[in-house]
Amino acid sequence: MNYVDKCRVLLVGDPGVGKTSLANLLSQNESTRGSKWTVGCNVDIKLHTHKKTNKQYFIEFIDVAGSCKHRKSRQLFYKNLDGIILVYDLLNSKSHSNLWKWCTEVLNSEYMTKASNSKSKKKLIELKIH
């Protein structure tokens, strides 16, 4: 059996901005309409093969609830992350300005501060989907 690298990607943003739909689009290559609000966390999985190297990656898209009442429970899913996707609604400027709040919450969580003390380096990449 071939070894498959895994990657954990977190999706965060205000409630109702489309995190669940984006996770489904990235993992299943199909969009969803009228999905229910996430309570706790949804995990979508994709087995991705890199075109140039033919290497396989197991990608977990972790979609956490955006509601403020789930703030403490969200932090359980901030452990061992390889990437973060910040999601906002183009028609809702407040959801865009709240991205700083989301960055602060994730980066100041107990799990991220432990990870920053380790020798591994993380890169921040901005991905815009229109």
pLDDT tens-digit map of 63-122: 888 766 556 667 778 888 888 999 999 999 999 999 999 888 888 877 665 555 554 444
**Architecture of the domain defined by 5-116:** 3-Layer(aba) Sandwich (3.40)
Q: How far apart are CA 55 and CA 49, in angstroms?
A: 6
Checking 107-116 for CB contacts under 8 A at 24+ apart, the result is: 109/75, 109/78, 110/75, 111/75, 111/78, 111/79, 111/80, 111/81, 112/78, 112/81, 115/80, 115/81
pLDDT reported for residue 126: 47
Extents of the domains making up the chain = 5-116
pLDDT band at 37 (very low <50, low <70, confident <90, very high): low
> Model-level pTM?
0.75
